[in-house]
Chain A
Amino acid sequence: MLSPLESPLGKQLRNYACVRITRMDNVDIGLFEYDRNNTLYFFLMNADEQIYMRYGGRDGRSPDSYLNLDSLALAAAKGLELHRQYLGGALAKTARPKPISPLDYPMLVERTIKAHACVECHLIGDYQNLHREKDGTLDKLVHLFRSPDIRSLGIELDVPKGLVVKEVSGPAQSAGMRAGDRIATWEGDTVWTFADLQHRYDKVPRTAKTVRVTVERDGAMKELTAALPVLWWRTDTRYRQSSIEPRSYFEDRVLTAEEKAKLGLRADGFASFVKYVSSMAQSVGAHDLKVGDIIVSVDGKDRDENADTASLYIVLHKTPGDLATMEVLRDGKRISMPLKTIRMSFRK
Chain B
Amino acid sequence: MKFAAAVILFSLASYAQGNHSADDIVWLDNYQTALKQSRATGKPIFLEYRCEP
Contact = CB atoms under 8 A, between A and B. Distances in A.
Contacts of A13: 10, 25, 46
A83 B48 CA distance: 18
Q: How large is the interface on A (under 10, 10 to 19, 20 to 34, 35 or more residues)?
A: 35 or more
Contact of A69 (B6, B33, B51): B6
B25 A21 contact: no
Interface string A61-96: 001100111001000100110010001000000000
Interface in B1-20: 1-4, 6-7, 9-11, 13-14, 17
Contacts of B17: 3, 5
B21 to A, nearest CB: 10
B47 to A, nearest CB: 4
Contacts of B41: 17
Interface string B14-53: 1001000001111111110111011101111111111111
B43 A15 contact: yes
Interface string A6-25: 00011001111111111010
A249 interface: no
Nearest to A23: B52
Contacts of A14: 23-25
A205 B25 CA distance: 41
B19 to A, nearest CB: 11
The 9 A-B pairs with the shortest beta carbon distances in the complex, nearest first, are: A19-B34, A16-B46, A47-B38, A67-B3, A83-B44, A64-B3, A17-B37, A19-B28, A4-B13
Interface of A: 3-5, 9-10, 13-22, 24, 26-27, 32, 34, 38-47, 49, 52, 63-64, 67-69, 72, 76, 79-80, 83, 87, 118, 120-121
Interface of B: 1-4, 6-7, 9-11, 13-14, 17, 23-31, 33-35, 37-39, 41-53
